[in-house]
Amino acid sequence: MTRTLRARFARRWVRVLLATTGVALALAVAGSGAALAATPKRIVSLNGDITEIIFALGYGKRVVAVDVSATYPAAARKLPKIGYQRTLTPEPIIAFNPDLVIGDEVAGPQATLDQLRAAGKRVVIIKGARSVRDIPAKIRAVGKALGATAYKRAKKLAATTDKRLRAVRKRIRRVKRKPRVAFLYLRGTQVQYIGGRGSGADTVISYAGGVDAGTSAGLNGFRPLSPEALVAMKPDYIVTLAAGLQSVGGVSGLLQLPGVAETPAGTRRRILSFDDLEFLGLGPRTPRVIERLARAIGTLASANRR
């Protein structure tokens, strides 16, 4: 074999090797959640907040099924449901023949995710937002999983959301005594919890210029509501989710729960309610939530203030 023929032969095998390696690498990267060139056509979203971001990026029509926490936008509520994000089973998801199943660390159990992967489904689990500051990264992660074009859109949405968060933060005025805010999670008179550090509500309350009463009392996550503990926290405001407040009979019903009426918030009827997903979802609508909360608790300065 002449030197020229050997060179041609070597170059040909290099091209083949690069091509096959490129395919393998692309598959490995796709499995890790990196951006793909093509956008999936059949998406199953395992978390309501991720569903909201997918719609915000303009890919709602490619979502074929969602979990029951997907309540926004209105179009998401009309989609078929595959169960609750924490207690999923593989069969309902596989039935929709998705080419992407996406969720965050809350989605599970792990056995279900493993079975989906074993069935050949592409499953991407992104890092969820634990604080307001994590929101832009979360938006970018969702976009990356949806493909190159979606990732470009996600970077723009993340930048816009971050800008809005910073703008609201600049308007939070300094007060001598920050208002104490207790977040109550309610589902009827039998399910009553108070949030603390890591509840999701704590970061929103803090960013709005308040003090999360549960965190201040040393609570982590959610704990059963104790009337004595609530009274001792002396919250100036109580925040609830709209569905939870309705489940106990509105503000009047909430004031009938042991301990609530004895707090400064109860005495002054300073009860605030927010949409469930909007308040705890930590997504593109969070800047608006923070602004509303800050205005309600008196920490928001005028838009003209410099």
Mind listing the pLDDT tens digit for each residue in 205-254?
Answer: 999 999 999 999 999 999 999 999 999 999 999 999 999 999 999 999 99
- Segment 194-212 mean pLDDT: 97
Contact 299, 209 (CB under 8 A): yes
Distance CA 149, CA 36 (A): 9
Is 195 found in the same domain as 106?
no
Indicate whether 18 belongs to any domain: no
Domains identified in the chain, total number: 2
Domain boundary among 169, 192, 215: 169
pLDDT on residue 302: 63
Domain boundary among 116, 136, 169: 169
Does residue 102 sit within a domain? yes
Domain encompassing residue 243? 175-297
Cα–Cα distance, 85 to 95 (Å, whole number): 17
Rounded mean pLDDT, 276-299 = 97
For residue 163, give every residue at least 6 positions away whose Cβ sits within 8 Å of its Cβ, in sequence order, or none: none
d(Cα 283, Cα 50) in Å, to the nearest integer?
8
Mean pLDDT of 42-49: 98
pLDDT higher than threshold 50 for residue 4: no
**What per-residue confidence (pLDDT) applies to 189?**
85
User: Are 128 and 186 in a shared domain?
Assistant: no
**Contact call for residues 196 and 205 (beta carbons, < 8 A):** no
Q: Are residues 253 and 279 in the same domain?
A: yes
pLDDT range class, residue 95, cuts 50, 70, 90: very high
CATH number at residue 150: 3.40.50.1980
pLDDT at 301: 84
